[in-house]
Amino acid sequence: MQPRRSFRVFQAIMALLIGLITLFPIYWVTVSALRGFTGLYDDRSTLWPTAFNLDFFTSIWASTNFPRNYFNSIVLGVAVTFITVVVSLAMAYVLSRFKFRGNGVIRMSMLIGYMLPPLVLAIPLFGLLVSVGLDDTLYGLGIAHIAMCLPFGVWMMIAFYDTVPVDLEEAAWIDGATKMQALVRIVIPVAVPGIVSVAVFSFVLSFTDYVFGLMLVSSDSMKTLPVGLATIAESTALQRGDLLAGAALIGLPMIGFMVLAGRFFIKGMMAGAVKG
């Protein structure tokens, strides 16, 4: 009994240590941005600011193109997440339930697409988008993000579909349900952790993407947050605190998303790792 208790204590200590290492940079960026100009340089040795000041946040929001970049990233992230989830649900169901010639090739292509680095995909995608007139648009950038997120989404959902016995669907068909009704009422509820995992992965990847945003978009009105913040840092005389405030604002949607969906995300990632 004593060794087991000691192991649990060790696990708790390691979890706390990993949590501190992971969360401290986010905490420090946010707190530093809240110190204000005076506090940023006078109180930087303290873990907690002596006073809170929103001047850095109001400065970057009012004097730069940051609000437009923020809007672009939110709209793009939501659209990419929705499309990736819907298409992944459909494609994974077909690949999991129907055996046809080329099934394995499609699965392997998804895996290869997921393994390729974004920079390798960005160059041919740029040429393709230029040829169809979608370069320097959020539509073209969204297509690139979907191409980056979809392979992971399909593989994750295949792992969940494979855990649902076909007999359950066949029983629903015998009871008079259509294939779509069986999918919606029986299969998808079981796959909710996988759906949430795909949604979180897609939103975070789209919201924080820098490579595609840098190569596929050039006009300031179309830039997303990571590229926009880098452009602001290079082309303006803003203080370091303004950039810290921008970095803190970038993290807000992702933190909120993880707080709301974290339990399903962890469950989905663990299940996908075991079953996939």
| Residue appearing with tokens 């707080």 | 259
Q: What is the pLDDT of residues 248-265, one digit of tens each?
A: 888 777 777 666 655 655
Q: Quote the tokens at residue 246.
A: 């921008």
Q: Which CATH number fits domain 65-275: 3.30.365.10, 3.40.50.300, 3.40.630.10, 1.10.3720.10?
A: 1.10.3720.10
* 89 burial via Cβ count (<10 Å: 0-12, 13-18, 19+): buried
Q: What distance in Å separates the CA atoms of residue 171 and residue 175, rounded to the nearest whole number?
A: 6
What's the CA gap between 140 and 211, in Å, rounded? 14
Domain ranges (residues) in the chain: 1-53, 65-275
More confident residue, 103 or 222: 222
The most confident of 1-5, 141-145, 200-204, 272-276, by mean pLDDT: 141-145
SS3 call for 96: helix
Check residue 275 and give its pLDDT: 44
Residue 81 confidence (pLDDT): 93
Per-residue buried b or exposed e for 209-226, using 16+ beta carbons within 10 Å of the residue's own CB: bebbbbbbbeeeebbbbb
Q: Provide the 10 A C-beta neighbour count for residue 138.
A: 20
CB atoms within 10 A of CB 20: 10
Q: Residue 186 CA to chain centroid, in angstroms?
A: 27
Using a cut of 0.85, tell me whether the model's pTM lies above it: no
Does residue 183 contact residue 247 with C-beta atoms inside 8 Å? Answer: no
Most confident of 17-31, 72-86, 120-134, 175-189: 72-86
pLDDT of residue 274: 43
Residue 191 has pLDDT above 50, yes or no: yes
